Amino acid sequence: MQQYNTQLSKITLPEYGRRVQELIRYCKTIPDRGKRTAYAHTIVEIMADLYPEIANVENSKQILWDHLALISNYELDVDYPFQITPKESLSGQPVKMTQNEEPFRYMMYGRVVEQMIEKVKTLENPSDRIRLLELCANHMKRNFHLVNKDADEDNDKIINDLVNYVGIEYKDEVYQVFLYDNADLKKNDQYDPARLVEPKKKKKKKK
Q: Which of 95, 118, 112 has the alpha carbon at shortest distance from 45?
A: 112
Whether the Cβ atoms of residue 159 and residue 137 lie closer than 8 Å to each other: yes
The C-alpha atoms of residue 194 and residue 102 are separated, in whole angstroms, by 26
- Per domain, the residue ranges of the chain are 9-89, 107-195
The C-alpha atoms of residue 112 and residue 125 are separated, in whole angstroms, by 22
Q: What is the dihedral of CA 118, 124, 130, 134, to 10 degrees?
A: -30
For residue 165, give Cα distances in angstroms to 19, 25, 177.
21, 30, 15
Percentage of the chain exceeding pLDDT 70: 70
The C-alpha atoms of residue 100 and residue 52 are separated, in whole angstroms, by 10
Residue 103 CA to chain centroid, in angstroms?
17
Question: Which tens digit of pLDDT belongs to each residue from 76-128?
Answer: 999 999 888 877 665 444 444 444 445 556 777 776 678 778 888 888 889 88
Rounded to an integer, the average pLDDT of 5-22 is 67
Separation of first and last alpha carbons in the chain:
62
From the CA atom positions of the chain, what is the Rg in Å?
Answer: 19
- In a 3-state reduction of DSSP, which class is residue 110? coil
In terms of pLDDT, which residue wins out, 10 or 36?
A: 36
Whether the Cβ atoms of residue 42 and residue 191 lie closer than 8 Å to each other: yes
The C-alpha atoms of residue 60 and residue 95 are separated, in whole angstroms, by 10
Rounded to an integer, the average pLDDT of 170-188 is 83
Residue 94 dihedral angles phi and psi, to the nearest 5°: -60, 165
For residue 138, give Cα distances in angstroms to 75, 132, 164, 179, 186.
31, 10, 16, 6, 11
pLDDT of residue 32: 92
Residue 66: CA atoms inside 13 Å, Cβ hemisphere, count? Answer: 19
Rounded to an integer, the average pLDDT of 129-144 is 85
pLDDT of residue 84: 87
